[in-house]
Structure 1
Amino acid sequence: MDRSKKRSIGSSQSPPPKKRPTFVSYREIPKLHPKIKLLCELLANTPSVSVESTLDEAGVRVSTEDVEEVLKLSYNSPGPTVKFFTWAGRQLNDKLSPYAWNLVVDLLGKNSLFDAMWDAIKSMKKEGLVSLATFASVFISYVGCDRVDEALMAFDVMDQYGLRRDVVALNSLLSAICREGKTGRAKAFFDIVKDRVMTDADSYAILLEGWENEGDVRNAHNVFAEMVALHGWDTSNVPAYDAFLCALLKGPNGVREAMSFFATMKEKRCYPGSKFLRCALEEFVRLNLDREGDYLWEALVESKRCNADTKMYNSMIELLCHSNNADRVNQLLDEMIVNGAFPDSGTYNAVLHLFLKLRKLRDASAIFREMVKNEFVPSVSNCKTAIKVYLDVGEPEMAIRVWKCLVVSESGVAALEDIANLLIVELQELNRLPEACKYADEMIDRKIKLNSKTLSQLKHSLGKLGKMHVYDELLKKWKSR
């Protein structure tokens, strides 16, 4: 397509720009070098016309690295920053790095100063500094402010700046367009240029990721079929398989269709990667599909085709907990540590909940001790359940250990009242009156409300032992609170 007859690149006749993006400020960077901070502050607070004279008066000497750092942190002040760049070029005898030039191009583009951006690119051309990274920035800037046509025209003129319009450049353009949710525009341009630019599997992977992000299953199907017809089944094309299967998960009958295509890929010995594994496990958890989870885990993780992280292990453990498969849960706990995916609070709480539910108290106690040792606190609901279960089976020592964890949690006092009263009552019934009095005293200090029934039982128990003075002290403290 001949776009040379359309408006020129950088023309102001274009759709209104989107809301200005938010840039990283030097103020957000801790322990910033004093010289860099000084220069950034100067650019942020000095009009463009005064920047060079102010810099001269400051007497600051800069290196190429200094220039790069200042540029990265001064996107909010494009005019003064370009003046600084010009000033620094004179100080450094025009020995500015290609990276610094690309930062200027990016800074101008991100601020929609496209005429100035192209002026900078023309200056780079004279120095032989224009690279694919330069144009990648141009593509992103144009697409980011909804000027896709200009991005396409920029691709068309790359050869004028000494660059090839090859598949790497095309993929950079497609990626910029798809990331902004405009995969339809990317695919339309792709169909135009694919006869004159040799595409590759990455081109299709980018389009598939775009359709995945937009939840367009039909177009994902079409692109995937086209990719397989042109490039065949390639074991290294993991990103494309990931994107396609994740797209299928978002459609009607998503799990069934995704797993059907996964089976086909498996027959071809072509496998997706961790991205699909993570998405599929999350969907399996949502739908309680433990058998599908086991099948996929065996095919990808146990076969060493994917490395599972802690979040993936947690999803699989949650599935197994739903099916009460305690033995398999223990197995995964051991495996994840060996494989460098260490349990977190979510892991421990899911497993503790399962063991308590199944009354596997030896395992529950072991998990409790391990998580506390690793500085994780059981959830309030798990603590309450554990205290009830341990008291019910006559293990007050473990109930007390869990209580100590519960009271240092961030839960409010009101959330502790029911379990606190239960603990005091049950300790008495287990002939642990001294501990009951001790923890009742601590609860009153913590402003945890003991109800009249609990106090009445304490009064009765202490009265039988002739220790009403202990009760009187507790009651006095309780009333004073």
Structure 2
Amino acid sequence: MNRVQVLRSCLRNAGLVFSRADYCSLAVSSSSSSSCASSPQSPSVLTSTTVFDYQDNCLDSRNQATVNLVAAKACVGSSPDEILISLAHDKVCNDIEASNDLVDKLLLRFKDDWKSALGVFRWAGLRPGYKHRPEAYDMMVDILGKMKQMDRMKEFLEEMNRNHLVTLNTVGKAMRRFSGAGKWEDAVRMFDELGTFGLEKNTESMNLLLDTLCKEGKVEQARAIFLELKSHILPNAHTFNIFIHGWCKANLVDEAHWTLQEMKGHACRPCVISYSTIIQFYCRRYNFSKVYELLDEMEAQGCPPNAVTYTTVTVFLVKSQNIEEALQLTQRMKSAGCKPDTPFFNSLIYLLGRAGRFQEAVDVFEKEMSNAGVSRDTSTYNSMIAIFCHHGHVSKALSLLKEMQTSALFNLDGLTFYPLLKSCLRTGDMDLLSQLLDDMVKKHQLSLDRSAYALLIHGLCRANKCEWAYHLFEEMIGKDIVPKYQTCHLLLEEVKLKSMYDTAEKIEEFMKKL
């Protein structure tokens, strides 16, 4: 369908289009020299740029509607096979053309619901003219591993291998999920069997395994494997930085210092990452004398601290209530010629907010960042939204949310919405709460995690909305997200007070299984 046909189609469906003002606004952007005044009621005089923008917005709206439709259909069924059958026999779904964009958005929507994700994945794979990209397979591996469906993940990997779709990225996702599930031996076995996937054992793949093990607290096992491999696989600086991080995580900082010397023995020069990792270890223990020793050592070694190093130290100085010392460090940073970056300002805004210095945080956001030529990112906005909500300025927080939603520069996440959800529950604004949840799921494909469900269920119970709370409880269980006992108990007590005895019985049955 060409651009004109799409535009005509959008105009024919004007009733739908005009109701989605955020997506398909007909406001005309014309230059100041234009002699022609246009209006939404006069599409014939739209400029060509506006026509194309209008068409693209309509397509975005239509694509999102398709995602929502398939997602709703996918909720029918208690297993991937049932969901697949439901979608395959649905007349509306049979008229939908599968695409990479559609599948990516659906898998993102169901990243915490492996049954729906797998059902949708299988359905799309059967659609005529469509073939899954390797990236879609990798997303599916990650979803299965995240939801601890390890046997299914193994079967899925075997299927991928038969079709020659396993890449090092796939292996990395699988290794991380195996280790995260306490099956680190399976991660090692996967490395040993790299040849069966047509992949090599080299420095990159070795580092991938070592990093996976160290991040899961298996640094000693990683060290033993490294000693076996180093005779035929050369380590690089990244190899040693992985171990420095692993030793620090295991509270064995002397081993981390020793690794700095080992790096030099392998002709690998310690870098900012090497030192900053150890500095972070001492920061977490508020041992700032050691921190300053290492900062001095970095400068003496010709490896000056960067903005990340200074940001780390600043964060922990403020956490330890050393506000003035933190400000002095920012001056040291400027004197050293190290320019603040976005993460530095994000940390400063967050910490000023925590310290109750509201106006200073606002000034950094509104003035200092732009004066320094530093751009804002999602975390910047998230921090300010949280600060505004904490101080009761919900309307200002909503204005920032709208800025994010109307810009293509930001990827909204759960942290964007959670402070606003808390504010709604605190003020009892259920209409706004419902709207925000709808935006999260349908507009931004965000899934609720266990913490978010707990926040909502607890808040709704306090607001005497236990029917809604129970609906979320059922939704949570349907996604195989196990609520805490405290959440179950609170909801049980509330439904009993409402004389919802059938509901109470269902909750009690579930609690017996916990």
Cross-structure match for 1:20? none
Give the SS at the match of 2:235: coil
CA RMSD of aligned residues (A): 3.9
Cross-structure match for 1:33? 64
Q: Is 1:170 aligned with 2:206?
A: yes
Cross-structure match for 2:295? 262
Cross-structure match for 2:168? 132
Q: Give the deviation of 1:75 after TM superposition.
A: 3.9
Q: Is 1:310 aligned with 2:310?
A: no
Cross-structure match for 1:50? 82
Cα pair 2:213 2:219 within 8 Å, conserved: yes
Cross-structure match for 1:371? none
- 2:238 aligned to 189, 202, 210, which one? 202
TM-score (norm 2): 0.50
CA–CA distance in 2 between the matches of 1:106 and 1:316?
Answer: 33
- 2:248 aligned to 207, 212, 215, which one? 212
Q: Is 1:245 aligned with 2:279?
A: yes
- 1:111 aligned to 135, 144, 147, which one? 147
Cα pair 2:207 2:239 within 8 Å, conserved: yes
- Superposed CA deviations along residues 190-249 of structure 1, whole A, max 9, x for unmatched, are 333233322211222223233334443223222222223323435xx3222211222233
Give unpaired runs (5+ residues) of structure 2: 1-60, 354-365, 381-395, 398-514
For residues 249 and 224 of structure 1, do their structure 2 counterparts lie closer, same or farther at Cα, with a shift above 3 Å needed?
farther
Q: Give the deviation of 1:269 after TM superposition.
A: 0.8
Please say which structure displays the higher CA radius of gyration.
Answer: 1
Question: Comparing both chains, which one has the higher relative contact order based on Cα–Cα distances under 8 Å and sequence gaps of 6 or more?
Answer: 2
Q: Is 1:192 aligned with 2:223?
A: no
* Percent of residue pairs identical: 21
Q: Give the deviation of 1:66 after TM superposition.
A: 1.4
For residues 312 and 79 of structure 1, do their structure 2 counterparts lie closer, same or farther at Cα, with a shift above 3 Å needed?
closer
Cross-structure match for 1:339? 372
Q: Give the deviation of 1:148 after TM superposition.
A: 0.9
Q: Give the deviation of 1:143 after TM superposition.
A: 0.9
Q: Is 1:74 aligned with 2:110?
A: yes
Give the SS at the match of 1:91: coil
The aligned amino acid for 2:68 is: K
Q: How many residues align?
A: 301
CA–CA distance in 1 between the matches of 2:76 and 2:308?
Answer: 45
CA–CA distance in 1 between the matches of 2:278 and 2:348?
Answer: 23
For residues 128 and 315 of structure 1, do their structure 2 counterparts lie closer, same or farther at Cα, with a shift above 3 Å needed?
closer
Cα pair 1:217 1:250 within 8 Å, conserved: no
For residues 250 and 91 of structure 1, do their structure 2 counterparts lie closer, same or farther at Cα, with a shift above 3 Å needed?
closer
For residues 315 and 269 of structure 1, do their structure 2 counterparts lie closer, same or farther at Cα, with a shift above 3 Å needed?
farther
For residues 300 and 191 of structure 1, do their structure 2 counterparts lie closer, same or farther at Cα, with a shift above 3 Å needed?
farther
Q: Give the deviation of 1:77 after TM superposition.
A: 4.0
Cα pair 1:282 1:315 within 8 Å, conserved: no
Q: Give the deviation of 1:133 after TM superposition.
A: 1.1
Cα pair 2:284 2:316 within 8 Å, conserved: no
CA–CA distance in 2 between the matches of 1:37 and 1:335?
Answer: 41
Give the SS at the match of 1:45: coil
31-40 vs 117-126, which deviates more?
Answer: 31-40
The aligned amino acid for 2:306 is: G
CA–CA distance in 2 between the matches of 1:130 and 1:313?
Answer: 42
The aligned amino acid for 1:240 is: S
Give the SS at the match of 2:89: helix
For residues 161 and 314 of structure 1, do their structure 2 counterparts lie closer, same or farther at Cα, with a shift above 3 Å needed?
closer
40-49 vs 266-275, which deviates more?
Answer: 40-49
CA–CA distance in 2 between the matches of 1:227 and 1:164?
Answer: 24
For residues 293 and 219 of structure 1, do their structure 2 counterparts lie closer, same or farther at Cα, with a shift above 3 Å needed?
farther
Cα pair 2:275 2:294 within 8 Å, conserved: no
- 2:180 aligned to 136, 144, 159, which one? 144
Q: Give the deviation of 1:31 after TM superposition.
A: 11
For residues 278 and 123 of structure 1, do their structure 2 counterparts lie closer, same or farther at Cα, with a shift above 3 Å needed?
same
Cα pair 1:233 1:268 within 8 Å, conserved: no
Q: Give the deviation of 1:46 after TM superposition.
A: 0.9
TM-score (norm 1): 0.53
The aligned amino acid for 2:87 is: L
Cα pair 1:202 1:240 within 8 Å, conserved: no
Cα pair 1:109 1:117 within 8 Å, conserved: yes
Cross-structure match for 1:476? none
Cα pair 2:317 2:325 within 8 Å, conserved: no
For residues 250 and 31 of structure 1, do their structure 2 counterparts lie closer, same or farther at Cα, with a shift above 3 Å needed?
farther
Cα pair 2:160 2:166 within 8 Å, conserved: yes
The aligned amino acid for 1:141 is: R
Q: Give the deviation of 1:135 after TM superposition.
A: 0.5
CA–CA distance in 1 between the matches of 2:150 and 2:322?
Answer: 52
